C-alpha cells in the first residue's frame, strides 16, 4: 500500500506560526498546541483571529499512560488525550512524537503513533479511555495531511495528489484491512522522496512484482 508522506515537523518546543488571510481579508494567526493540551475556541476581536492547531503526541498513551494518575492525581483518571471528542467537534488533529528520531524504540515511528491512536494501549497493557479512539483512517490523516497543514505545507505535502511533492511510503500490508493490533508491526518496504527511490527494505517484495 502506498501512503502519502508525513509532514516533516520541527521539534515540539518550536511553535510554528504561519500567517495568512481569511477569505474576508482579515488577519489571522495559526498556532500549534503541543502535548495534548485542550485547545480553546476561536477568539474574534473584529480585526484579529487566532486559530489553535492541536498537535498531540499519541505515543504518550503508551509511554506514560500507566502513570497519568501518579503525575496528575485525580485529573489523570479521565479525559486523557480526548481524540474522539476533539475530532467530533471539528478539530483537525495532527500527530507527533515529541522525541528525536532514534531516541526511543518505536515511538518515533509514525505507524506506532497510528497504533496508539486506534488501540490506546499502555506499556503495561492497560487500555486508556477507549471511547476516545480514532479510526485507522483518522489516525493516518493525523500523521499525514493534517500534520502537513499544521506546518502550513498542506498544498505540497501530506497526501498523494496531482501537483504535490511525490513523497511516498510503500507499506508491506494494507493498514486499512489488517488487524488493528498489527498496525504497530507494519513495515515500510520502500520510500520515495520527490519521486526518487531513497530506501528499499531488504527482503521486501519488489514493487513491480507486488503490483502485478
Whether residue 61 lies inside any domain: the answer is: yes
Whether residue 12 lies inside any domain: the answer is: no
Give just the sign of the alpha carbon dihedral 41, 45, 46, 49.
negative
Whether residue 13 lies inside any domain: the answer is: no
Whether residue 90 lies inside any domain: the answer is: yes
Q: Give residue 105's pLDDT.
A: 76
Q: How far apart are CA 79 and CA 64, in angstroms?
A: 14
- Where in the sequence is the domain holding 180, given as residue range(s)? 2-7+18-210
In this predicted structure, the answer to whether residue 184 has a pLDDT above a threshold of 60 is: yes
* Mean pLDDT within 42-51: 49
Whether residue 142 lies inside any domain: the answer is: yes
Spell 128-153 as b/e; 16+ CB within 10 A means b.
Answer: bbeebbbebebbbbbbbbbbbbbbbb
Whether residue 139 lies inside any domain: the answer is: yes
Question: Lowest mean pLDDT: which of 13-27, 116-130, 162-176, 183-197?
Answer: 13-27
In this predicted structure, the answer to whether residue 52 has a pLDDT above a threshold of 50 is: yes
For residue range 104-149, list pLDDT tens digits in order. 778 889 999 999 999 999 999 999 999 999 999 999 999 999 999 9
> How many domains does the chain fold into?
1
C-alpha triplet 196, 169, 162: angle, nearest 5°:
70
For residue range 80-103, list pLDDT tens digits in order. 999 999 999 999 999 998 877 666
**Side-chain half-sphere exposure of 74, counting CA atoms within 13 A:** 0
Comparing CA positions, the residue from 22, 43, 39, 20 lying closest to residue 152 is 20
Q: Give residue 152's pLDDT.
A: 93
Amino acid at each position: 500500500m502506498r501512503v502519502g508522506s508525513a509532514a516533516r515537523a520541527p521539534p515540539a518546543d518550536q511553535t510554528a506560526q504561519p500567517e495568512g488571510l481569511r477569505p474576508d481579508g482579515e488577519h489571522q494567526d495559526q498556532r500549534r498546541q503541543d502535548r495534548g493540551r485542550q485547545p480553546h475556541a476561536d477568539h474574534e476581536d473584529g480585526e484579529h483571529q487566532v486559530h489553535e492547531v492541536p498537535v498531540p503526541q499519541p505515543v504518550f498513551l503508551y509511554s506514560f499512560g500507566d502513570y497519568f494518575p501518579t503525575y496528575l492525581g485525580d485529573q489523570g483518571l479521565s479525559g486523557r488525550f480526548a481524540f474522539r471528542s476533539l475530532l467530533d467537534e471539528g478539530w483537525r488533529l495532527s500527530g507527533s512524537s515529541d522525541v528525536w528520531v532514534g531516541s526511543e524504540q518505536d515511538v518515533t515511528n509514525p505507524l506506532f503513533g497510528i497504533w496508539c491512536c486506534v488501540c490506546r494501549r499502555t506499556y503495561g497493557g492497560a487500555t486508556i479511555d477507549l471511547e476516545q479512539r480514532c479510526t485507522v483512517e483518522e489516525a493516518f490523516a493525523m500523521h499525514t495531511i493534517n500534520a502537513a497543514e499544521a506546518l502550513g505545507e498542506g498544498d505540497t505535502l501530506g497526501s498523494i495528489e496531482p501537483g504535490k511533492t511525490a513523497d511516498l511510503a510503500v507499506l508491506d500490508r494494507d493498514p486499512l484491512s489488517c488487524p488493528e493490533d498489527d498496525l504497530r508491526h507494519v513495515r515500510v518496504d520502500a520510500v520515495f522522496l520527490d519521486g526518487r527511490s531513497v530506501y528499499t527494505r531488504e527482503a521486501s517484495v519488489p514493487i513491480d512484482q507486488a503490483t502485478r
